[in-house]
Amino acid sequence: MTIKVAINGFGTIGKRVADAVDAQEDMEIVGVTKTSPSFGCQLAVRKGYPLYCTFDEEDKIAAFAGAGYVCKGGLSELLSICDVIVDCSPGKVGAENLEKYQNAGVKSIFQGGEKHALTGKSYTSSANHIENLGVNCTRVVSCNTTGLSRTLVPIYELVQGKGSISVNSVMIRRAADPGDSSKGPINAIKPVLKVPSHHGPDLMTVKPEIDITSLAVAVPTTIMHLHAITVNLPLGHGLSTEKVLETWKNTQRVIVMNGTKNKITSTAEVMELARDIGRKWGDLHEIFVWEDGVSLQDNTLYYFQAIHQESDVIPENVDAIRAMMETETDWKASVEKTDRAISAYYGI
Ligand SMILES: NC(=O)c1ccc[n+]([C@@H]2O[C@H](COP(=O)([O-])OP(=O)(O)OC[C@H]3O[C@@H](n4cnc5c(N)ncnc54)[C@H](OP(=O)(O)O)[C@@H]3O)[C@@H](O)[C@H]2O)c1
């Protein structure tokens, strides 16, 4: 069975999810939406993705032809031909869209800009694939929460049965995506004055067993988020720094590298590494952990990790589709399939 996937919102996340889906043998893109004819339509045309209008109004659909684009119809028409729709609209417009998907009887996936309450289910590949099997609606958590899940779930699993873990995390957030011109700050460090920030509690929507809190600050950079994480391990955890590193080195979608030896001492070099890998847009789907920044002292584990905000969630959307459609019950098998297909797509 080929899963017919639609993308509503062909922006930063939507265009990436479209390519990741297009790369898979078991899925196809049946259409992507734009609100109006703008330069992003060109990319859809070049990729051969059928172009639809986000809205059903005749004048909005007709505007595409006026700008020289073939628009196949409105959202309702797209919903009539897909099995699942990936909503990549800007955060907080989801509620209105969800109603449309439900009325059309189409499964839907939302992104981290929406609240967990909208869908009642959230998703990361490593934390709760099984719980999302067959659901009609879920939300792939934000880039930061995805990053927390990738490295913390394996630590949780290492000490499972020996006691609980608690986590304090500080999220040093990029101010804007590279393509944004309207966000900031550009000359300040801006604390998120809501304490805890939403990131830690958000992880608990996919892994409630991890007791985590978080603080966040936005800094004037566009290329990555950085997390400084402290994990309080149970007494008698039996772990060492080496054991933790070995675990992450064997964890899918985590890259562990020695920053000093490899001369990758900041997010700038991590992004250069990503560009060298060769995925489109210079994306880094993996979470980057600095080996020499990891230290386990008594019962406390300290580490730093870097998150490519525009892309770590992309392969998770593909795995979430398989969970909802119940075509792959084993999350590791799905991750393997997703990542192998994306690598082949880009010839890497
Ligand atoms: N960017 C990131 O770093 C990042 C990371 C993880 C998760 N997310 C989440 O992913 C979601 C999308 O973010 P983004 O960064 O991709 O935003 P974006 O670049 O602004 O793209 C959003 C797209 O949605 C379209 N749109 C506007 N109103 C819409 C509506 N009512 N229904 C459907 N589509 C609509 C816009 O279309 P037009 O261009 O045609 O006007 C735009 O292309 C958000 O929930 C965000 O929080 C973002």
Q: What's the domain count of the chain?
A: 2
User: Ligand 1 test: best mutation among 15, 54, 88, most atoms within 8 Å of CB?
Assistant: 88
Q: Does 93 contact ligand 1 (Cβ within 6 A)? A: yes
Could you read off the pLDDT of 104-123 as tens digits, one per residue?
A: 999 999 999 999 999 999 99
Ligand 1 atom closest to 93 (CA): 31
Determine the length of the chain. 348
The residue among 238, 214, 227, 122 whose CA lies nearest residue 166 is 214
Residues 86 and 175 in one domain: no
The pLDDT value given to residue 267: 98
Q: Does 316 contact ligand 1 (Cβ within 6 A)? A: no
Buried b (16+ CB within 10 A) or exposed e, 47-78: eebbbbbbebeeebbebbeeeebebebbbebb
Residues 107 and 177 in one domain: no
> What is the spatial distance between Cα 42 and Cα 63, in angstroms, rounded to a whole number?
15
Residues 252 and 319 in one domain: no
Residues 152 and 295 in one domain: yes
Residues 110 and 17 in one domain: yes
Residues 198 and 219 in one domain: yes
Residues 287 and 167 in one domain: yes
Average pLDDT of span 9-22: 98
Which band of pLDDT confidence, cut at 50, 70 and 90, is reported for residue 7?
Answer: very high
Q: Does 12 contact ligand 1 (Cβ within 6 A)? A: yes
> What is the spatial distance between Cα 287 and Cα 255, in angstroms, rounded to a whole number?
6
Which band of pLDDT confidence, cut at 50, 70 and 90, is reported for residue 92?
Answer: confident
Beta-bridged to residue 34, according to DSSP, are 53
Ligand 1 atom closest to 10 (CA): 43
> What is the spatial distance between Cα 75 and Cα 59, in angstroms, rounded to a whole number?
14
89 Cα–ligand 1 center, Å: 4
| Torsion, CA 16, CA 20, CA 23, CA 26, rounded to 10 | -140
Buried b (16+ CB within 10 A) or exposed e, 103-121: eeebbbbbbbbbbbebbeb
Average pLDDT of span 39-68: 97
Three-state DSSP state, 243: helix
The set of catalytic residues is 143
The residue among 55, 334, 294, 11 whose CA lies nearest residue 155 is 294
Ligand 1 atom closest to 146 (CA): 6
Residues 104 and 226 in one domain: no
Amino acid at 319: D
The pLDDT value given to residue 327: 98
User: Ligand 1 test: best mutation among 7, 10, 13, 310, most atoms within 8 Å of CB?
Assistant: 13
Q: Does 35 contact ligand 1 (Cβ within 6 A)? A: yes
- Chain centroid to CA 141: how far? 6
The pLDDT value given to residue 83: 98
User: Ligand 1 test: best mutation among 41, 54, 174, most atoms within 8 Å of CB?
Assistant: 54
Average pLDDT of span 331-348: 97
- Tokens standing for 76? 């309702």
Backbone angles phi, psi at 166, to 5 degrees: -130, 150
Burial class (CB in 10 A: 0-12, 13-18, 19+), 266: middle
Q: Are 98 and 313 a contacting pair, CB within 8 Å?
A: no
Residues 176 and 223 in one domain: yes
Could you read off the pLDDT of 220-273 as tens digits, one per residue?
A: 999 999 999 999 999 999 999 999 999 999 999 999 999 999 999 999 999 999
Residues 287 and 328 in one domain: no
Q: Is the pLDDT of residue 62 over 90?
A: yes
Q: Are 253 and 284 a contacting pair, CB within 8 Å?
A: no
Q: Is the pLDDT of residue 195 over 90?
A: yes
Could you read off the pLDDT of 278-288 as tens digits, one per residue?
A: 999 999 999 99
Which band of pLDDT confidence, cut at 50, 70 and 90, is reported for residue 162?
Answer: very high
Ligand 1 atom closest to 96 (CA): 31
Which band of pLDDT confidence, cut at 50, 70 and 90, is reported for residue 1?
Answer: confident
CATH label of the domain that carries residue 128: 3.40.50.720
Q: Does 138 contact ligand 1 (Cβ within 6 A)? A: no
Domain span at 17: 3-141+313-345
Q: Does 222 contact ligand 1 (Cβ within 6 A)? A: no
Q: Are 57 and 74 a contacting pair, CB within 8 Å?
A: yes
Q: Does 9 contact ligand 1 (Cβ within 6 A)? A: yes
> What is the spatial distance between Cα 329 and Cα 237, in angstroms, rounded to a whole number?
30
Mean pLDDT of the chain: 97
- Tokens standing for 44? 């859809």
Residues 99 and 244 in one domain: no
Top-confidence residue, 1 or 111: 111
